[in-house]
Amino acid sequence: MVSHFHGDHVGGLLDHPRARIVAGGAGADHALSLRGLTATRHAILPALLPDDLRDRLDPVESFARADVAGLTAWDLLGDRSLLAVDLPGHMPGHLGLLFTSGGRQVLLVGDAAWTTRSYRDLKPPSRLARNVMHDWPTTLSTLAVLHALDAAHPDLLILPAHCPEGHAAWYAGA
Ligand SMILES: [Zn+2]
């Protein structure tokens, strides 16, 4: 399951040459369409993408819809135990993953927020970071959605990929 295709989120794909790859179809199309310096400018590193990515891709849109908490979601295992959640803005097809672990609901949000503080205090990334975001207004609206989810569901652990504070909360609850 790939949240999005930025180079720092796909480093393990080449280690799993037979695995199916679940990802947003738009994200895969975007990543595969870019080459050279243009790809680098979009934080895509083509050398990290399997040559047969297209053949092994299961676009998330091919799974049954199972919207949750007002968010578009897809049921990856058919029993609502593992939901891919649409968290748009950071990159085309950017996804989160919702599941239960140790009795607690966890929402991995990839780069939809970079820190816990960002969604909790509704603090967007700096203006300098705008260049990295595919769609800045949508990035902000997704951050607002995470902020509201956090406020409404205090037991839900929302975990950004790059947040040490979030990782500490994860290990504390494990
Ligand atoms: Zn990213």
CA of 52 to the centre of ligand 1 (A): 22
CATH number for 7-173: choose from 3.60.15.10, 3.40.50.2300, 3.20.20.70, 3.30.230.10.
Answer: 3.60.15.10
Confidence label for 170 from pLDDT (cuts 50, 70 and 90): confident
CA geometry: angle 89, 118, 12, nearest 5 deg: 60
pLDDT of residue 58: 98
Nearest residue to 150 (alpha-carbon basis) of 110, 111, 122, 125: 122
**Across residues 23-43, what is the average pLDDT?**
93
pLDDT of residue 165: 86
Nearest residue to 83 (alpha-carbon basis) of 62, 60, 101: 60
- Tell me the Ramachandran region of residue 104: left when phi exceeds 0, alpha when psi lies from -120 to 50, beta otherwise: beta
Per-residue pLDDT of 86-140, as tens digits, reads 999 999 999 999 999 988 999 999 999 999 999 999 998 887 788 788 999 999 9
* pTM, full prediction: 0.92
* Structure token digits, residue 166: 């979030």
CA of 22 to the centre of ligand 1 (A): 17
| Cα Rg of the chain, angstroms | 16
CA of 125 to the centre of ligand 1 (A): 12
pLDDT of residue 87: 98
pLDDT of residue 174: 54
CA of 91 to the centre of ligand 1 (A): 7
pLDDT of residue 152: 95
Per-residue pLDDT of 40-73, as tens digits, reads 988 999 999 999 999 999 999 999 999 998 899 9
